[in-house]
Amino acid sequence: MTRQQVFLDEYRQAREKRAAGDSRGELQHLERAHILGQPRFVDHLRSHLWLLAWAWRQRDWAELAAQLLRLPGSLGSLFGLYPLGNPGTRRVGALTAQPLPDDLKALLP
């Protein structure tokens, strides 16, 4: 599968977790989608919008504020400037790169 296909599949899995009432599982898939979306501006922006919506549904105001601050950071993808492997949530600094999950390594630069 391509990076784009796996990106969309992670979002599909997040929606399934949300439907099942598993907010933690939903967030894990949204974070993986963010990692995959970083190289492409539109996907990067979409992943932050999905994370923003997750924070709203959870009433996690700190995460919601973090997402509002990170949305403009999606522009970094246009210039190839983004911290590879960053999950896109407040649990990791916005500019902090993280090790890539093994199963995603082949899909990313």
Whether the Cβ atoms of residue 50 and residue 85 lie closer than 8 Å to each other: no
Residue 59 clears pLDDT 90, i.e. is over it: yes
Kindly calculate the radius of gyration of the chain based on its CA atoms and give it in whole angstroms.
13
Residue 109 clears pLDDT 80, i.e. is over it: no
The predicted model scores a pTM of 0.95
Question: 34: domain range?
Answer: 3-107
User: In terms of Cα–Cα distance, which of 27, 63, 80, 94 is closest to 11?
Assistant: 27
Q: How many domains does the chain have?
A: 1
- Confidence class for position 23, pLDDT limits 50, 70, 90: very high
Rounded to a whole number of angstroms, the distance between the first and last alpha carbons of the chain is 15
